[in-house]
Structure 1
Amino acid sequence: MNVARVSVAGAVAASALLLLAGPASAHVSVQPLGEAAQGGSAVIDFKVPNERDNASTIKVEVNLPADHPLAYVSAQAVPGWKTDIVKTKLAKPIELHGSPVDEAVSKVTWTATGDSKITPGQFQMFPLSVSPLPEDTDQLVFKAIQTYDNKEVVRWIEEAKEGAAEPENPAPVLKLTAPAADEGGAAHGSTAPGAAGNGAEKSDETKTTTASSSSDSGDSTDATARVLGIIGIVVGVAGVAYGVLAGRRRTA
């Protein structure tokens, strides 16, 4: 009987912990659909849950990191949501593929149109394609602002500090991994610029080498055939001469 009471009490306590943990973990976050490697490109998703029981999310604003500007940003269309992209002049231009870039996307805003909303108990994904990812940091911090239809605004802008508890409204953080290295030891990003071109050049070089080898092999075969032919002729002539001499000896 006591064991049964303890089990029931434990189950109730566990349920209470789950209920308490639920809202705390339901915050705006960013996650890669594929590998997010330094120096490459990636498609990232901003996951926006609705945390309210009596209101719906109608607007999401994401501010891109100014300390690590992203030169190329494009947004995938989300049905029922209007997308606005804002670019800002850079105080210090960055170099990309040998060319200077003096502006970068600083903010992307999604606004619900018509009856499209993130209702209680639901979430929405907002995808972005970004490139190139910086090579001098292992993470990117995106500060997000979530607006509800009751005019409540939640700012997901607090940066976590090492050794400290998670802040109440943490900013979405994208972790970056070191670029993968190929068998030759060369590092490359998920879709490193110029990779396709280098592959094509290598392929052409391989084809040229193969064709050259085939040509050399054909030439060698022809030369061998010629030598054997000449030897055959010489042997034939020698045989005829030997036959003539032998005939003369018999006659004599």
Structure 2
Amino acid sequence: MQVFPIASLASRRTAARLAAGAAVAGTAVLALSAPAFAHVTVQPEGAAAKGGYAVVDFKVPNERDDASTTKVEVSLPADHPLASVMAEPVPGWHVQVTKAKLAKPLTVHGDTIDQAVTKVTWTADGKGIEPGYFQKFPLSVGALPENTDQLVFKALQTYSDKQVVRWIEVPRPGQDEPQNPAPVLQLTAPAGEHGTASSAADKTGGTAATSSGGGSDTTARVLGVAGIVVGAAGVAYGVLAGRRRTA
């Protein structure tokens, strides 16, 4: 019978406990690092400045392994209606733009508009968005409102098995992201404000460049005069030396 020292047995038990703990910790890390399901989002191509126009992309991923996305419906914000909404053709999809009469007409560039787009629907002509893929649906929208920092678009995603996922929950500041968040477009400062800042920066840079150029010219002139003086002195010295030798 083989006998193990007590110290050796204790070391083995400690190692086993550490290994079990590491396994549990590793499982916890994997669980925490597992990616959350992707959802429908909206992002501008460039900037979405208040009071301006922008092209925005609705990114729709397919979260299912056994069905394709065959229809996407995006409702535009009723509290901030957009006078101009145009859809870019997407190959393999039919687009329908729905308009409605506004309770309060809008005034855009001096024109009164009494109706606006309330919903845009894309319906697949073929297989749609298959598992493992996503699709972007671009819209040109404007004029963007100036009295808010964001626009909330609610979206419905329909699968080939008729299941509908409603991305309509509005995210709240300071709270966890909801399970089915609605796409939110963040607006930036009006273009005029950026332009004013850029103009001020350009003027400052131009002044600095002019001052620097003036300093360089002054230095060059001083060096030039000094060179002439030194040259004249050299010539005079040469003439005097020649006369002495001749004498």
Flag whether TM exceeds 0.5 (same fold).
yes
Distance 1:186 1:71, change over 3 A: farther
User: 1:148 Cα shift?
Assistant: 0.5
1:156 is matched with which residue? 167
1:76 is matched with which residue? 88
2:230 is matched with which residue? none
Task: Determine whether 1:14 maps to 2:23.
Answer: no
1:87 is matched with which residue? 99
Q: Per-residue displacement from partner, 1:157-180 (whole Å, max 9, x unpaired)?
A: 111223322111111100001124
1:218 is matched with which residue? none
Structure-2 separation of matches of 1:155 and 1:182? 37
Q: Which runs of 4+ in 1 moved over 4 A?
A: 1-11, 182-187
User: 1:76 Cα shift?
Assistant: 0.9
Aligned match for 2:64, one of 52, 58, 63:
52
Q: Which moved more, 1:9-18 or 1:101-110?
A: 9-18
2:231 is matched with which residue? none
Aligned match for 1:110, one of 103, 122, 131:
122
Structure-1 separation of matches of 2:139 and 2:93? 14
Number of residues paired by the alignment? 183
Structure-1 separation of matches of 2:60 and 2:32? 23
Q: Supply the AA of the counterpart residue of 2:28.
A: A
User: 1:6 Cα shift?
Assistant: 6.0
Aligned match for 1:136, one of 121, 125, 147:
147
Distance 1:56 1:18, change over 3 A: farther
> Identity across aligned pairs (percent)?
60
Q: Per-residue displacement from partner, 1:72-128 (whole Å, max 9, x unpaired)?
A: 11111111000000111111101001110111111000000123x111121111110
| Mapping for residues 162-177 of structure 1, pairs under 5 Å | 162-177=173-188
Distance 1:183 1:91, change over 3 A: closer
Distance 1:150 1:11, change over 3 A: same
Task: Determine whether 1:120 maps to 2:135.
Answer: no
User: 1:11 Cα shift?
Assistant: 4.3
Structure-2 separation of matches of 1:140 and 1:183? 24
In structure 1, stretches of 5+ residues that fail to align are 188-252
Q: Per-residue displacement from partner, 1:127-169 (whole Å, max 9, x unpaired)?
A: 1011110000000000000000111011111112233221111
TM-score by length of 1: 0.67
Give secondary structure in 2 for the equivalent of 1:105.
strand
Distance 1:58 1:184, change over 3 A: closer
In structure 2, stretches of 5+ residues that fail to align are 1-14, 200-247
Q: Supply the AA of the counterpart residue of 1:87.
A: K
Q: Per-residue displacement from partner, 1:10-47 (whole Å, max 9, x unpaired)?
A: 4443332233x332xx1111111110110011110101
Distance 1:34 1:184, change over 3 A: closer
Distance 1:27 1:133, change over 3 A: same
Q: CA RMSD in A?
A: 2.1
